[in-house]
Structure 1
Amino acid sequence: MSRKFIIMTMIIMMMINVVVNDKKLYNFNNFPWQISLQYYDRLTKQLYHICDGAIVSHINVIVPAYCVDLTLSKNRSKINIDDFKIKVIGFYNQSDVIDPIYSISEINLNPRWNPETFCYNAATISIKNEEFNFNCPDNNNRRPLVQMIYTNLTDKISIESLYNHHAELATWNWQNYQYEVRNVRILSNDDCQQSLKSNEYRSFDNETEICTYSWLDSCYFSNGALLQYFHDDGKAYLLGIASWITTDLSNNIIIFTKVT
């Protein structure tokens, strides 16, 4: 992957500003399912954050397809899957005894992913030759203790029942090394289409996407920020991952790829 691609990705992330309220800062490990997808630059020998993601099984994480679609780079011959790493957020100190970095064995893009429109903007990544540690660590396990976030909320309630309700946008601010969590309001299909009338990019697809509105204070968030919902059963559910926002920031619309 070219350095130009990495630099452009970082510029895009820095330009993404949304308007939301109730900003909350969280300590490490508040959301033990959240990961950082990172790229290893062989020239600088440094890891760079590319996108947020979430642990959804013992071996899999979900991230935006845009972040791992290797065909989007002009230097395809130089791309190697081993250049991508999964880093468990909360263990950013390289001297930590517990090793937070996992290698990747496989990247599976959604087969209907369209980089022109960002439809079906999701991919599943499998870690190599091991499983995430869901058990209490012991002397023989040098991996951090993590949890997965559930993705089956629609088995309990419909997305439509959440219209005009609030969910949480959770992101890892790689500039300040801290979590940021904001409330966003889930919009109905009609309300979203009305808000997007001035958008020249494309319309909203309520079958595959979740539309949210946010307001007030300006907020930075990373590609793949999580849309999470805490149900009455006490569990956290992943509704979607951030895919795109309106170019007209006065509308403050954030579109998430639906994963539940």
Structure 2
Amino acid sequence: MSKVVLITGASSGIGKAIANFLHQKGFVVYGTSRNPEKVTNVPFKMIALDVLDVETIKKAVSTIVDKEGKLDVLINNAGKGITGPIEDTPTDEMKSNFDTNVFGPIEVMKAVLPQMRKQKSGKIINVTSIAGYMGLPFRGVYSASKGALELITEAISMEVKNFGIDVVNVAPGDFATNIAAGRYHTPVFEDSAYKEKYAENLALMDNHVDAGMDPEVMAKAVLNIINANNPKIHYKVGGFMEKFSIVLKRILPDKVYEKLLMNHYKL
């Protein structure tokens, strides 16, 4: 029987690319969106799910299990970006980002785990970010939320291993998607101490996304994880320098690594 896959945030970007690719490979794919009726011309099934609304999560999972009798794979992809100097970024927006990028995925995991325990099998793939391995200037909240999900994954992986469930992270670098349009951008305030540097870095971030890799690269990586009998806990998918930056952080003195980042962001 084909594996049944649930992908959150499948209306665009990486989530949509993964959903399309897995559908082509013969998986039974359920993508989610807060407004699935607006998502047209996709070959996979779309259902309503808002990671900030626990009832919609429970309903989506029960709908899939009732119809398919099982749920083999969860891909926790829904998330959102945020930029801005920490000092200038509204605290409510920081909390909102953590709600979407950390607590939302946790709620989806909590909803699927009972079914996976019942099956004595399942795989949960949390989409994090290479930015989650380091605190990046003007992206500190995003880095922190994705880093938090990395650590949550490490913990829950150990908690559910005995039930036959694998929980892994896959951390993408920059991919050519519309993520920049969906970010919360702290305004460039006229009286901000960070006005010039933040404005420069906003443009730099958007350029990185525009020059990013094809999302199908990420989809192929996810397929390999699904097919792995004994998957790793951490996967990184991105350009050489993006992945190498994680290695450099591990081996260089803190101040040397910080200087490299500051030079890269022209600070």
- Return the TM-score normalized by structure 2: 0.28
Higher relative contact order (Cα pairs below 8 Å, separated by 6+ residues):
1
Greater C-alpha radius of gyration: 2
Q: Per residue, is there more helix in 1 or in 2?
A: 2
> 1 or 2, which has the higher strand percentage?
1
